[in-house]
């Protein structure tokens, strides 16, 4: 799981990070293998956003992944935060999980 987050779409037979026109590929800005990984923003409109993924106890598979979205001030409006949360849910909680058969 950690490797999939650290190098999205590294396996061409299991693509999961399918971005929209207003998104960009994230960069890893912090990594503490095997439990924590922080991405840069996916959104051109909110370059300040970061996404922290944690795998409790260094879990390498299963559903123990937790992600946290952080943004600086000014906070995004309700519509933008809803869009960001929905996209992370789609990308991580659906697309990535499906590549692991869950």
Q: What share of the chain is helix, strand, coil (3-state, %, to 5)?
A: 30, 20, 50
pTM exceeds 0.85, yes or no = yes
According to the model, what pLDDT value does residue 64 have? 79
**How far is it, in rounded angstroms, from Cα 24 to Cα 102?**
26
Answer whether 102's CB lies under 8 Å from 67's CB: no
State the residue range of the domain holding 17.
2-99
According to the model, what pLDDT value does residue 102 have? 65
Six token digits for residue 22: 């207003």
Six token digits for residue 30: 């912090």
Question: How many domains in the chain?
Answer: 1
Per-residue pLDDT of 41-78, as tens digits, reads 999 999 999 999 998 865 555 557 899 999 998 989 99
pLDDT higher than 60, residue 84? yes
């Amino acid at each position: 799981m950690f490797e999939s987050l650290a190098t999205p779409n590294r396996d061409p037979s299991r693509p999961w990070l399918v971005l929209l026109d207003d998104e960009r590929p994230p960069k890893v800005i912090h990594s503490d293998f095997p439990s924590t990984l922080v991405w840069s923003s996916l959104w051109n409109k909110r370059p300040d956003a970061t996404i922290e993924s944690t795998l409790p106890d260094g879990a390498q598979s299963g559903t123990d992944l937790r992600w946290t979205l952080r943004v600086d001030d000014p906070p995004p409006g309700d519509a933008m935060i809803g869009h960001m949360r929905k996209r992370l849910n789609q990308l991580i909680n659906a697309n990535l999980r499906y590549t692991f058969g869950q």
